Amino acid sequence: MNANNWSERKALAGAVLEIDVRNHAGVMSHVVGLFSRRAYNLEGILVMPVGAGEQSRVWLKVIEDARLTQMIKQVEKLEDVLAVRRHGADHAVFERIEEFFRAA
Protein backbone atom coordinates (compact mmCIF):
# COMPACT_ATOMS: atom_id res chain seq x y z
CA MET A 1 0.00 0.00 0.00
CA ASN A 2 2.86 2.32 0.70
CA ALA A 3 4.71 1.38 -2.44
CA ASN A 4 4.55 4.60 -4.34
CA ASN A 5 6.54 4.21 -7.45
CA TRP A 6 5.16 2.25 -10.32
CA SER A 7 7.72 -0.53 -10.45
CA GLU A 8 7.20 -1.21 -6.76
CA ARG A 9 3.43 -1.25 -7.24
CA LYS A 10 3.71 -3.60 -10.17
CA ALA A 11 5.50 -6.10 -8.00
CA LEU A 12 2.60 -6.26 -5.53
CA ALA A 13 -0.09 -8.87 -5.87
CA GLY A 14 -2.85 -7.58 -8.06
CA ALA A 15 -6.37 -8.50 -8.97
CA VAL A 16 -8.69 -7.77 -11.84
CA LEU A 17 -12.38 -7.17 -11.23
CA GLU A 18 -14.97 -7.66 -13.94
CA ILE A 19 -18.17 -5.77 -13.17
CA ASP A 20 -21.42 -5.83 -15.13
CA VAL A 21 -23.36 -2.61 -14.71
CA ARG A 22 -26.37 -0.80 -16.10
CA ASN A 23 -25.09 1.65 -18.66
CA HIS A 24 -25.94 5.22 -17.64
CA ALA A 25 -24.22 8.48 -16.94
CA GLY A 26 -23.76 8.08 -13.20
CA VAL A 27 -22.70 4.49 -12.85
CA MET A 28 -18.93 5.04 -13.13
CA SER A 29 -19.06 7.68 -10.40
CA HIS A 30 -20.81 5.21 -8.13
CA VAL A 31 -18.26 2.47 -8.72
CA VAL A 32 -15.11 4.59 -8.74
CA GLY A 33 -16.27 6.69 -5.77
CA LEU A 34 -16.28 3.63 -3.54
CA PHE A 35 -12.54 3.28 -4.16
CA SER A 36 -11.50 6.92 -4.17
CA ARG A 37 -13.21 7.73 -0.88
CA ARG A 38 -11.18 4.97 0.76
CA ALA A 39 -7.97 6.17 -0.92
CA TYR A 40 -7.81 2.83 -2.71
CA ASN A 41 -6.05 3.45 -6.00
CA LEU A 42 -7.38 1.99 -9.22
CA GLU A 43 -4.42 1.01 -11.37
CA GLY A 44 -6.50 0.44 -14.48
CA ILE A 45 -10.05 1.17 -15.64
CA LEU A 46 -11.70 -0.05 -18.82
CA VAL A 47 -15.34 0.23 -19.70
CA MET A 48 -17.38 -0.45 -22.82
CA PRO A 49 -21.03 -1.18 -23.49
CA VAL A 50 -21.96 -4.80 -24.09
CA GLY A 51 -24.70 -6.17 -26.33
CA ALA A 52 -27.37 -3.64 -27.19
CA GLY A 53 -25.85 -1.05 -24.89
CA GLU A 54 -28.24 -1.41 -21.96
CA GLN A 55 -25.35 -2.77 -19.98
CA SER A 56 -21.65 -2.03 -19.73
CA ARG A 57 -18.75 -4.05 -18.48
CA VAL A 58 -16.20 -2.40 -16.25
CA TRP A 59 -12.74 -3.87 -15.80
CA LEU A 60 -10.76 -2.66 -12.82
CA LYS A 61 -7.14 -3.44 -12.07
CA VAL A 62 -6.30 -3.08 -8.41
CA ILE A 63 -3.53 -3.89 -6.02
CA GLU A 64 -4.65 -6.51 -3.59
CA ASP A 65 -4.66 -5.50 0.04
CA ALA A 66 -6.63 -6.51 3.09
CA ARG A 67 -9.53 -4.30 2.07
CA LEU A 68 -10.24 -5.96 -1.27
CA THR A 69 -12.87 -8.40 0.00
CA GLN A 70 -14.72 -5.54 1.65
CA MET A 71 -14.41 -3.46 -1.54
CA ILE A 72 -15.99 -6.23 -3.59
CA LYS A 73 -18.89 -6.48 -1.13
CA GLN A 74 -19.39 -2.73 -1.35
CA VAL A 75 -19.41 -2.84 -5.16
CA GLU A 76 -21.92 -5.69 -5.08
CA LYS A 77 -24.27 -3.53 -3.03
CA LEU A 78 -24.57 -0.84 -5.69
CA GLU A 79 -28.01 -0.66 -7.26
CA ASP A 80 -26.67 -0.57 -10.83
CA VAL A 81 -24.12 -3.33 -10.41
CA LEU A 82 -25.44 -6.63 -11.73
CA ALA A 83 -22.46 -8.92 -11.11
CA VAL A 84 -18.88 -8.82 -9.91
CA ARG A 85 -16.26 -11.41 -10.84
CA ARG A 86 -12.75 -11.49 -9.47
CA HIS A 87 -9.75 -12.60 -11.56
CA GLY A 88 -6.02 -12.83 -11.02
CA ALA A 89 -3.70 -10.00 -12.01
CA ASP A 90 -2.58 -11.88 -15.10
CA HIS A 91 -5.97 -11.63 -16.78
CA ALA A 92 -5.50 -10.93 -20.47
CA VAL A 93 -7.67 -7.86 -20.66
CA PHE A 94 -5.12 -5.37 -19.38
CA GLU A 95 -2.16 -7.16 -20.92
CA ARG A 96 -3.62 -6.91 -24.41
CA ILE A 97 -4.13 -3.19 -24.29
CA GLU A 98 -0.76 -2.51 -22.77
CA GLU A 99 0.61 -1.52 -26.16
CA PHE A 100 -1.54 1.62 -26.02
CA PHE A 101 0.08 2.63 -22.77
CA ARG A 102 3.80 2.63 -23.62
CA ALA A 103 5.66 5.71 -22.50
CA ALA A 104 6.54 7.89 -25.47
- Chain residues that interact with another protein, rule: CB under 8 A: 25-26, 29-30, 33, 37, 69-70, 73-74, 76-79
Looking at the Cβ atoms of 55 and 74, the one nearer to another protein is 74
CA end-to-end span of the chain: 27
Which of residues 9 and 30 has its CB atom nearest to another protein in the complex?
30
Say what angle helices 27-36 and 68-77 make with each other, to 10 degrees. Answer: 150
Closest CB to another protein among 37 and 96?
A: 37
Helix, strand, or coil (residue 46):
strand
